[in-house]
Amino acid sequence: MPFAIAKDGTDIYFKDWGTGRPIVFSHGWPLSGDAWDAQMLFFVQQGFRVIAHDRRGHGRSGQPSEGNDMDTYADDLAAVLEKLGIQGAALVGHSTGGGEVAHYIGRHGTKRVAQAVLIGAVPPLMLKTATNPGGLPIDVFDGIRKGVAGNRSQFYKDLALPFYGFNRPGATPSQGTIDAFWAQGMAGGIKGQYECIRQFSEVDYTEDLKKIDVPTLILHGEDDQIVPIDNAGRMSAKIVKGAVLKTYPGFSHGMCEVNADVINADLLAFLKQ
């Protein structure tokens, strides 16, 4: 069965395709491993082994009441890598998944990791604080909590528009992409998704970033309305030793899907180094 068993017994679902060098994908909130469809199909066809799991409380994984925190998410990822015997992996994290990749390395090291990629990722810290004046005010994240608690179905339909940049003048919204975002969000559990909001907004990943000691690529859309680039990708690139930053004018938070051809080409070039 395609499940790893977490320390607390929670089932962590994963997809594992191919037999080449492993790429392990960590998805954003409130999605699932299916958010990586465009990358999974492309890279398995390029001869890589591709793996994507659903974070606890999301997708097809278990929905426990406890453990909806980044320490546990990182340990769940470790359980997947251990079950599959992964070595020399490229860890690729989008949005909240970028925090998961950084915290996995900060907590478990890089003995199984050869490269890291952070895409539209939340590190180092999204929340505005005295030491992080460029962050977003807590009211933004309280609003997300209110939306999830009040009517998460409608909230996810509304969130998909800025997520993919479909609210911009001249944009051509894809109803299929919006529907897929909604379906992935609704497959998860409200408690886990609600509690995950704190993990992508209030957790400081600075010390994790400092521990990354493998070649690292940071990709970020310059029109990311969900995780603004100046306080995320650009700051992370200054913290991770030797990191390469590539930015994309006009690209949205959901660029891995709506601009998959561009992102896949840049990922492939990095992975072949």
The residues assigned a catalytic role are 95, 224, 253
Structure tokens at 193: 């998704």
- Helical segments of 164-259, H only: 175-187, 190-201, 206-210, 233-239, 255-258
Q: Taking the chain, what is the end-to-end CA distance rounded to the nearest angstrom?
A: 34
Dihedral over Cα of 144, 119, 73, 187: its sign: positive
Neighbours of 19 (CB within 10 A): 10
**Distance from C-alpha of 232 to C-alpha of 229, rounded to nearest angstrom:** 5
Of the candidates 206, 267, 260, 209, the one whose C-alpha atom is nearest the C-alpha of residue 36 is 260
Secondary element (H or E) of residue 140? helix 138-163
- CB 186 within 8 Å of CB 153: yes
CA distance linking residue 192 with residue 63, whole number of Å = 7
